[in-house]
Structure 1
Amino acid sequence: MDIETFLRARAGVARASTLQVAGFSRTYVGKALTDGRIVRVRRGIYSMPREAGLFGLALQHNALLTCLSAAPTYRLWTLHDAGSVHLSPGHKKTPLGTLTHGRCPHPPHPWLPVAGLADVLIHSLRCLPPLESLVMLQCATQRGDVTIGFLRRKLPGNRNARARSVLDGLIPRADSILEVLANYHFRRAGLHVRRHVELPGVGEVDFLIEECLAVEVDGSTHLEPRQVKKDRKRNNATIIGGRLGLRFGYDDVVHHPERMVGEVLAVLELCRQGAFGTR
């Protein structure tokens, strides 16, 4: 494994001691620095060039990366790249073109200019559109990094009502961002939804809606030939088992949720009209 691959698996940054334990000698690290493959953020801290730019900006202004800009450090799910840099500068001004967040009352990252996870999540709730903050929180809470109760206590009063409402969209388990988003949209449409339901002959389906429609949301792995064959068998087994089935991909769930929900509602309406009844 080369040093770039190693760093990418660790949010693009690592201590010198971590690199040495992983088998990268001082000579190897020095050559990687000379070649421009990695950058020294500060003494004993090495990073990929792109990440170093963000850390360097934060260090230059004595600020902390937070919100969406800190998500890669904590390996949180995100819908989009950060775009503008999100900074918490304390009482100082931040550079033009950056997004300024409030102070960070919780301990920061132990060795990077990054806000602590609690502040990163709270800032995201107050800053980002609901779905973008929801996927970050889902990742952190289901890993056990933070609890919903803790976040609720940190968001008191009317001014935090919108932020608290996002917490209602969290679910005990989600295997992907797509499940989080689809669940949010189905619930918002007033549908009765059960998640991760085991169907005889089919296995576990992502959603069972109104007890009659099995819905699966497919990531990129479902485009692989072996998975396509498996999904085809599961689709057939769903129908043979007496239930209808729909599948939606990334583009449907992320970019066209209204269309996705509309198709689900259309099938349910046909069911109510007896369109799929025995003739």
Structure 2
Amino acid sequence: MEIETFLGERAGVARASTLRGAGFPRTYLDKALAAGRIVRIRRGIYSTPREAGAFGMALQHNALLTCLSAAPTYRLWTLHEASSVHLSPGHKAAPPGTRVHGRCPHPAHPWLPVAGLADVLIHSLRCLPTVESLVMLQCAAQRGDITLEFLRRKLPGNRNARARSVLDSVIPRADSILEVLANYHFRRAGLHVRRHAEIPGVGEVDFLIEDCLVVETDGDTHLEPRQVKKDRKRNNATLVGGHLGLRFGYADVVHHPEQMVAKVLEVLELSRQGAFSAR
């Protein structure tokens, strides 16, 4: 395994002892440094050049990365990469062009200039659009890294009302970002939604809406030939079993959720009008 791949699986950063334990001796690290393949961001800590910029900025200004800029460190789901560096500089001034957050009252990362997970999520809830903070929160909560009850206690008062409302949109289990977002948009539209419903002859589906419409959200794996054949069989079984069915991909769910919801509402209205009844 190349060192870039190894670091990429660890948010782009690792201790020297971790690298040596993985089979990258000191001579290898020195050669990789000289070639510009890796960067030493502080003594005993190495990073990919791409990640080193944000870490280096935080170290230079004695600040902590937080919010969206800290998401890779904790391997949180995200919709977009940070367009600017999110920093918590304490009482110090932050460099121009950065997104400044408040102080971090919780313990920081043990060896990186990164805020603790609790502060990262609280900052994201106060800073990011709802869907972007929701996917980060969903990832951490369902892994058991943090509890919603803990965060709710940390977000009192009227000024945190919007942040607390995001907590209510976290679901017990989501297999992908698409499920989180689709569930949010369907419920926001006032639809009755059952997640991971079991349909006879079909198996578990992502959503059963209004007890008649099966909705599946398809990631990249659904484009693989074997999965395409499986999905075709499930689509047929859905219709044979008496349910309607729709499928939506990444672009539908992430970039055009209003169009996705409109199609669901249109099919439900046609069903109410008897458009799919046997003649």
TM-score normalised over the length of structure 2: 0.99
Partner residue, 1:252: 252
Partner residue, 2:147: 147
- Offset at residue 278 of structure 1 (A): 1.6
Partner residue, 1:202: 202
CA distance, structure 1, for counterparts of residue 263 and residue 43 of structure 2: 56
CA distance, structure 2, for counterparts of residue 169 and residue 101 of structure 1: 24
- Mapping 1:188-199, distance limit 5 Å: 188-199=188-199
- Offset at residue 138 of structure 1 (A): 0.2
Partner residue, 2:267: 267
Note if 1:39 corresponds to 2:39.
Answer: yes
Q: Deviations over 1:102-142 (max 9, x none)?
A: 00000000000000000000000000011100000000000
Partner residue, 1:212: 212
CA distance, structure 2, for counterparts of residue 118 and residue 206 of structure 1: 30
Give the match's secondary structure for 1:217: strand
Q: Deviations over 1:89-111 (max 9, x none)?
A: 00000000001000000000000
Q: Deviations over 1:177-213 (max 9, x none)?
A: 0000000000000000000011111111000000000
Q: Deviations over 1:136-191 (max 9, x none)?
A: 00000000000000000000001100110111110000000000000000000000
- Offset at residue 10 of structure 1 (A): 0.3
Note if 1:56 corresponds to 2:56.
Answer: yes
Give the match's secondary structure for 1:274: coil
Partner residue, 1:166: 166
- Mapping 1:89-128, distance limit 5 Å: 89-128=89-128
Q: Deviations over 1:50-97 (max 9, x none)?
A: 111110000000000000000000000001110011000000000000
CA distance, structure 2, for counterparts of residue 123 and residue 205 of structure 1: 34
Q: How many residues align?
A: 279
CA distance, structure 2, for counterparts of residue 216 and residue 104 of structure 1: 40
- Offset at residue 45 of structure 1 (A): 0.2
CA distance, structure 2, for counterparts of residue 32 and residue 204 of structure 1: 47
**One-letter amino acid matched to 1:150:** F
Partner residue, 1:6: 6
Give the match's secondary structure for 1:254: helix
Structure 2 gap segments, 5+ residues each: none
Structure 1 gap segments, 5+ residues each: none
Partner residue, 1:183: 183
Give the match's secondary structure for 1:76: coil
**One-letter amino acid matched to 1:179:** E
Give every structure 1 segment of 4 or more consecutive aligned residues whose post-TM-superposition deviation is greater than 6 Å: none
CA distance, structure 2, for counterparts of residue 219 and residue 95 of structure 1: 38
**One-letter amino acid matched to 2:82:** A
Give the match's secondary structure for 2:132: helix
CA distance, structure 1, for counterparts of residue 4 and residue 115 of structure 2: 24
CA distance, structure 2, for counterparts of residue 204 and residue 29 of structure 1: 48
Give the match's secondary structure for 1:40: strand
TM-score normalised over the length of structure 1: 0.99
- Offset at residue 277 of structure 1 (A): 1.1
CA distance, structure 1, for counterparts of residue 170 and residue 238 of structure 2: 28
CA distance, structure 2, for counterparts of residue 73 and residue 42 of structure 1: 16
Partner residue, 1:70: 70
**One-letter amino acid matched to 1:128:** L
CA distance, structure 1, for counterparts of residue 117 and residue 13 of structure 2: 17
- Offset at residue 241 of structure 1 (A): 0.7
CA distance, structure 1, for counterparts of residue 267 and residue 131 of structure 2: 26
CA distance, structure 2, for counterparts of residue 125 and residue 252 of structure 1: 24
**One-letter amino acid matched to 1:243:** H
- Offset at residue 255 of structure 1 (A): 0.9
